[in-house]
Structure formats: structure tokens, C-alpha cells
Chain A
Amino acid sequence: MSGHAANPLHHPEVSIANGKTYLANFVISVALMTVALLVVLSGMAPFDVFLVTTAIGGLTVIIQSYLILHTDTSRGQFWHTFSLLLFVPLFIVTIGLTAWMFHGLYQRTMIMPARSGASPMSLHTRAGTR
């Protein structure tokens, strides 16, 4: 309906591209991921690794969404940012509440962590697969 006359290359979604931020994003992201990898290889206690890598991952995601997904409050991007913010609590609810529920459920319903091999009577293992 509109925009037939206007040059699409002048659209704010096009002019938002910025080589510097993309390069910065690459450098920062690679650096952070390298740190995360080194943390894992360093032989830190598992729970510490969990905390540190989660923090690094969170930071990377925030930086990336700002630098390459352009989630800011400018006129062109406002609704993108807004809808992302709407989703974030839902991600947390989906994963968090599920984890909470099942953490309790495993404790209450599992008799033992059966780590041993499949039952010889099992029909539902690879024996039944062609």
C-alpha cells in the first residue's frame, strides 16, 4: 500500500546496520565464550562452573541481543524490544517452574537412580528397533 514510492534502502531497519557494533559483538562474544570454555576446562567445582558459565552465558546473550538484534527503544525497534521483554518472563516460568516441580517429583517418586543396563526382558530397547 505504501512505501511503493519510497526507497526501501532508506528504511530505518536497513540503516540500523552498523559494522562497528557487529565487529564489537564478534570480539566480545568470542572472548566470553573462550572464558567460559576455560572455566570448564579448569577443573573448578561443578557447582561453581555452573554458576560462572550461567553468568557468562546470560551476559553474552544480553550483549548480543543489544548489539546484533538491536533491541533498543528507538522508534523502529521499540515493538521488537517490547515483545522480547514480554517473552523473557515466560522463558523463565517455563523452565524454572518445570525444574522446580520435577526436582521435587524425582525426590518423591524415584526409588533409585538405575544406572545399570537395560533389562534382558526389555522390549523397548534397541532390540525392538530395526
Chain B
Amino acid sequence: MLVHLQGSWSPALGRLCMKQLAFLHVPILEYTFAVVALLGLAAVGAVTYFGKWKYLWREWLTTVDHKRIGIMYIIIGLVMLLRGFADAVMIRLQQDMAIGPHSPGYMGAVHGYLTPFHIGQIFSAHGMIMIVFAATPLLVGLMNIIVPIQIGARDMAYPYLNALGLWLTGGGAALVMLSLFIGNFAHGGWYGFLPYFELPYSPGVGVDYWMWAFQLSAIGTSLGSINLIATIVKMRAPGMTWMRLPIFTWASLSTNLIALTSFPVLMVALALVGMDRYLGTHFYTAGMGGNLMLYNDLFWIWGHPEVYFLILPAFGIMSEIIPTFSEKTLFGYATMVIASFAIGGVSWGVWLHHFFTMAAAPSVNSFYSITTMLVGIPTGVKIFNWIFTMYRGRVRFELPMMWALLALSLLIVGGMTGMMNAFASNDYMWHNGIFVVAHFHMMVLVIASSIFGAVEYWFPKLFGFKLEQKWGKWFFWFMVLGTGFVFVPMFILGLAGMTRRLDYIPYTAWGPYLHLEMVGIGLYGAALLFFLAHLYVSLRDRESRRVGADAWGTGRSVEWMTHSPVPSYNFALIPHINARDEWAWRKDNGLTELHPGDYEPIHMPKNTGVPLVLGAFFFTLAFGLTWRIWWLTALSTAAIVIMIIVRSFDTDTDMTIPPNEVERTEKRRSDRASDFIATGVPPYAGGPVGTATAYQRLPEPAGGTGASSGGRL
């Protein structure tokens, strides 16, 4: 041990001892643990009962298929979203209960039911999980799935690295979840406060958990961004020139450029925290020549671009959904691309607005105030372009479109309040206030809405059937209501001067607003139930909602040119791209033949368990470091190095799918192809409004085996 620690330490178990097993003595955690343990047992039992272990291992855990990896990213994201939501409920409940000096206290708290130590962990976990382990994996997963198909590639540039990124993110998420039961989590906000996170003020393992989980996911995400950029730059199908690139791919490129450039800075910011805590250096200490503001500087150099890392794919999703459901070309394609990159570029020069109040010179604050406002220009342009995409279109209000429109309206609110925050003198009034919280939740909800829209939109592409609409609409409307009830009072409280991260609200005047927020949380809870119903009903009735390649009938880009669900090799023959919105162009010209037979052998990477095992070792490495179990740390490091070297000697990493197998797969898929494509009715052929059937629902199949094929496919 290099640094003075509070509490005991032993060579075998580090700082770990019985007392640290929080689920044994904290009442809330006892129940949580019971529930989690039951769910886990149920899952294991179900897999065993159905004999799916082999399938799970062969088809999912060891896969290098970008679509499956993307799906697993999304599953991690959804699970963590649930956990983050549970945290949010707990925070809201505490703030609803602990108002005024006369409010009662329970379970060791003076007011409400959570002590400062616990609520500190909860809001830290909420922020961290929502940003790093929910929003990021969801978007990374979507990009992983869609981008290679959109550019007409068979896979990512580095399928093996892709899987490693997934398992690193998974390891980080597992570490955060583990902190619930063993030890505790950081209790000072998701982005960390220095010097509060130094050993003298945060002596427990919470900060270490936070740091290593963050670090793992950061490594995972930057590996992913390298992969995606290389894929887009190097693996586009022939004819896919830059100005024919689908807009979501453009958005993914700009967003991954942001990740590529900014994540290293986060790693440094966190590594320096680690050195302060583990080696006793003085990067961020208040004394001994450290500078605590250096942490804020480095963190937000990453942190602000990270915000756009999340929002740009959301914009990309909206730019895909809105044209499809407006049955019209995207307005101002070039402008949209420029705006995406402008947002990405400006994001690198705005970070000081996260610490406007640190007493920087007024000239400095002026500079950052202006650069921050500059972000409003490309964002405003995007909003106008979406509106003009709908203009002269035929807007269909299906679920994806509804989510996109919700995202659009939330973006207007979030954009306006963002401009208010960028105005530095306003920010002085509410810098650490609830107003800022409400603002960025608006933006995060833009992201969430787009993600839900994207899930609705691309689900049929991946699984071959559409999600049902009734429960989905209930889900949608309860999300809208919940958002109103939670965040309108929150904005008002922001103007009231309420600040963030309070365990106890001293002013009873704020009570009514907090109660209203609790109503909103109830509505969100209901929305969650509707979401589950939505999934359940969709899965149950999947046979009746099978779709063909072009699931919505008005798809425009390349991903609608292959079967739903997409075969492992994406395209039997790599498409040759002739136009922007290739599929729309083909439909316009009656070239809807999905593939003309005449198959060729396809080279694909082989499945491998190495990334999963590496991810597991990274997890044990982080766990060992967190608890300062040095032998585990050393062992894991050695295992990682050896595995990487040994794997590099493996030459048997590829396989070839012979043409007859491709043909068999294609035949099987074509059984499910939609009549629409078979009839080959081009969407715009009719000319005048109303005569062309741009969108047709599949006829309900009689025997549940899917629609009959046109035979040609």
C-alpha cells in the first residue's frame, strides 16, 4: 500500500471484508439483492431448462457479428436504463419526503428515508449509468447495427475489436452493478468533484468503483469509435461516394470523430484521479501544488464533446425517420452534414461553460459564452431542415415518427434553455441549479426519444417483424405526460434557485412542485409497464406482423435493400450504389430486385471467445484495483497480456460461406419477403397525390407462416 488508507487491508482480500458486503446489513439493499438474485436465478434456470447454454455461447457470447454485438449493446443499455430509472425514482422520493425541518425521517435518515451517504451514491450512479451505461451503449449499439448495412458492408472493419469493446462496456456495467452489493459507489456526482474525490474526503472504495467502471467503458467506446470510423472510411460499397452516404452514417461518423478525439482526455482525467488516490501524487489536491480545477478542465474537455457524441446520432436517427414517414427526400442534405460537423467542431471549444463560476476572467467567460451560443446555429438549422422535410411531404404518424416529433419538440425546449444557460450571467444565477438539470434532461430525453424511435424504426429490419402500435402508443403518451409533470416543475424550481444534489429541502415553499414531480414519476412508472406490455404483445403476435425487406414501405437508404431479418453476411452480393437514397432511387426506377442470384463465396470472421474472456479479465483487473487486491490485479494483467499475444499467433480466424449455403439462406429468407417488393410498385410512380401506394401493410397471413413470396426472390 502506497497511500494512507482508512480501514483495514489484508494481502489476500485487500480492503474487502464482511462489513463491506452492503447487502447483508442495509435494509433497502437486502430486498434489492433478493430481487436481483431471484431474477438472476430465474434467468439461469430458464436458459438451462430450455437447453440454450450452447446456443447462447455459440450464437451470442462468442459472436463477432456486428448486428448481434449491437443487439447486446442495446440489451445492456436497456437494463442499465431500468437501473438508472430506479435510481431516479429513489432520488425523487427522497426529495419529495424531506421537505422542511418538520419532515419525518426513517431508516437512519433525519429527513426522508435516505441518508446523505446513500443519496450521494444514488445520484452519482443515476448520472453515470444514464450517460455512460445507458445512452452510450444504446447509441453505439444502433450505430453498430445500422452503419455497416447502410454503407453496404458485410461487417465492421475489426469484428474482433468490436466484440472486445462490447465486453469492456459490459465489464464496466457489471462493476457498477456490483458496487450496489459489495462496498459502495461514489457519492459525489457522476462527473466527480475534486478534491472531494481525493482520499481525505472520499476514503471508501466508491470513487475507485466509479473510476474503473468509467475507465473500462471509455476504453470500450474509443475502440468502438476507431472501428466505426475505419469502417466508414474504408469499407463503403462501390459507388458509395461521400455525398451518397446515408445521413445516419454521416451522423455516426461525426459522432465517432468526437469520441475518438475526446475519450483519451477522459482517460487522462480519470487516470490522474487514480494516481492521486493510489500513488499519492498531487495533480488535483488542494495543497502541495495540485490544481483541483485541472480535473474540471480535463473532464469537460471530454464531457462537452461527449454530450454531442450522444446527441448527434440522435439527430441522425431523426434525419432518417422524418423523411421516411414524410415520404419525401430529406431537405438540405448537404446542410445537414455540414451542421453535424459544425456541432462536432464547436463542441471542442465550449467546455469552460461547465465551470463558468470558477472565477475565470470575464474575457474568458465571454469567449466561452459566445462559442457555446454558436452551437445554437447548426442546431437551429437542423430543426428548420426537419420542418422543411415535412413541408410538401405526406406525414404519417406512426410510432417512429411520433418519437421523432417528440424529440423535435423537446429539442426546441432544450435548445432554448440551452441558449439561456449559455448566457453567462444567467448561468451565474443557477449554475449548480435545478434549471441546468432540467435543461440537460430535456436534451437527454431528445436522445431517449430518438432511441425509442430508432428501436421502433429498425426493429423490423433486425427481427423481421414490426412492434405492435397500441401499447406502444400508450407508452409514448405516458412518456410525454411524465416528462411534462417532472420537468415543468423542475424548470420552475430552477428559477426558484433550487440547487442540485440536495438530500433535504429546507424551504417548504418548494414542496408543491416537488410533489408534482412525484406525479410525473408515477406516470413514467406507468409508461414503463406499457413498454413491457408493448414488447410482450409484439413478441407474442410476431407471426402476424412479419414484414419484408422494406418494412415501412417508404424506406430510402441501403439497409432496406436486404432481407428482414438481415442475414449474417448482410448482402449476398455487395450492392453497387448509384444514388443518394439508393433504395428510393431503385424503387423510383422499378429496380426492386433484391439480389439476382448467381452467388459467390463469402469470407466472414469466425466466432471467438477471446473478447469475452478478455473482458472478464479486465473486469477482475478493475475489481482488484478497486479493492486493492494486488495479486488479483497482477494476475489479471498478466492474463490479459498473455491472451493478446497468444491470440495474435492464431491464424485460423476466418471462414468462408460457400455459394450453395448462401443460396439456401437466401431462399429461406425470401419466403418472408413482402408482397410489396414482389409487386414492384414504385412509390412515386403515380405522380399525382394519392394514386401511388407508397405504403402498404402486409396482408395478414392465413397460416401464420408469413406472407407468400412473389417467387422471384
Chain A residues at the B interface, C-beta cutoff of 8 Å: 1, 4, 79, 86-87, 89-90, 93-94, 97-98, 100-102, 104-105, 108-109, 118-119, 122-125, 128-130
Contacts and interface: CB of A to CB of B under 8 A. Distances in A.
A102 B1 contact: no
22 contacts: A1-B154, A4-B603, A86-B257, A86-B261, A90-B261, A97-B349, A98-B297, A102-B293, A102-B297, A104-B361, A104-B364, A105-B293, A105-B358, A108-B359, A108-B361, A122-B287, A122-B288, A124-B288, A125-B288, A128-B4, A129-B4, A129-B280
B265 A128 contact: no
Given A102-B297, A105-B293, A129-B4, A93 B358 contact: no
A45 B1 CA distance: 45
B200 A105 contact: no
Contacts of B301: 94, 98
B329 interface: no
B359 A90 contact: no
A104 to B, nearest CB: 4
A105 B293 CA distance: 9
A-B pairs with lowest CB-CB distance, top 3: A128-B4, A104-B361, A1-B603
Contacts of B348: 89-90, 93
A124 B349 contact: no
A93 B360 CA distance: 17
B154 A100 contact: no
Interface string B362-388: 011000000000000000000000000
Contacts of A94: 265, 301
Interface of B: 1-4, 154, 200, 233-234, 257, 261, 265, 280, 285, 287-288, 291, 293-294, 297, 301, 348-349, 352, 358-361, 363-364, 603
A101 B350 CA distance: 12
A125 B364 CA distance: 34
A130 B4 contact: yes
Contact of B288 (A1, A108, A118): A118
A109 to B, nearest CB: 6
A48 B280 CA distance: 36
A109 B4 contact: no
A98 B300 CA distance: 11
Contact of A109 (B257, B265, B285, B359): B359
- Of the candidates A90, A93, A119, A128, the one having the most CB atoms from chain B within 10 angstroms of its own CB is A90
A105 B360 contact: yes
A41 B364 CA distance: 37
Given A101-B364, A129-B280, 16 more contacts: A79-B234, A86-B257, A87-B261, A90-B261, A90-B348, A98-B301, A101-B352, A101-B360, A102-B294, A104-B361, A105-B293, A105-B358, A108-B361, A122-B287, A123-B200, A130-B1
B157 to A, nearest CB: 11
A54 B500 CA distance: 45
Contacts of A109: 359
Given A97-B349, A130-B1, A124 B287 contact: yes
Contacts of B261: 86-87, 90
Contacts of A123: 4, 200
Contacts of A100: 364
Contacts of A98: 297, 301
A110 to B, nearest CB: 10
A124 B285 contact: yes
B358 A128 contact: no
- Of the candidates A105, A118, A129, the one having the most CB atoms from chain B within 10 angstroms of its own CB is A105
- Of the candidates A97, A122, A123, the one having the most CB atoms from chain B within 10 angstroms of its own CB is A97
A28 B701 CA distance: 76
Nearest to A107: B361
Contacts of B361: 104, 108
B651 to A, nearest CB: 12
A130 B5 CA distance: 10
B223 to A, nearest CB: 16
Contacts of A97: 349, 352
Nearest to A127: B4
B262 to A, nearest CB: 9
Nearest to B198: A124
Nearest to B279: A129
A87 B348 CA distance: 11
A122 to B, nearest CB: 7
A92 B260 CA distance: 16
A129 B3 contact: yes
B297 A124 contact: no
Nearest to B230: A79
Nearest to B282: A124
A42 to B, nearest CB: 30
A102 B2 contact: no
A93 B293 CA distance: 17
Nearest to A91: B261
- Of the candidates B233, B291, B358, B361, the one having the most CB atoms from chain A within 10 angstroms of its own CB is B361
- Of the candidates A87, A89, A94, A100, the one having the most CB atoms from chain B within 10 angstroms of its own CB is A94
Contacts of B359: 105, 108-109
B601 to A, nearest CB: 10
A36 to B, nearest CB: 26
Contact of A104 (B200, B294, B360): B360
Contact of B233 (A79, A101, A105, A124): A79
Contacts of B294: 102
A27 B569 CA distance: 51
A52 to B, nearest CB: 28
A79 B280 CA distance: 42
A26 B223 CA distance: 33
A1 to B, nearest CB: 4
A81 B351 CA distance: 27
Contacts of B360: 101, 104-105, 108
A98 B257 CA distance: 21
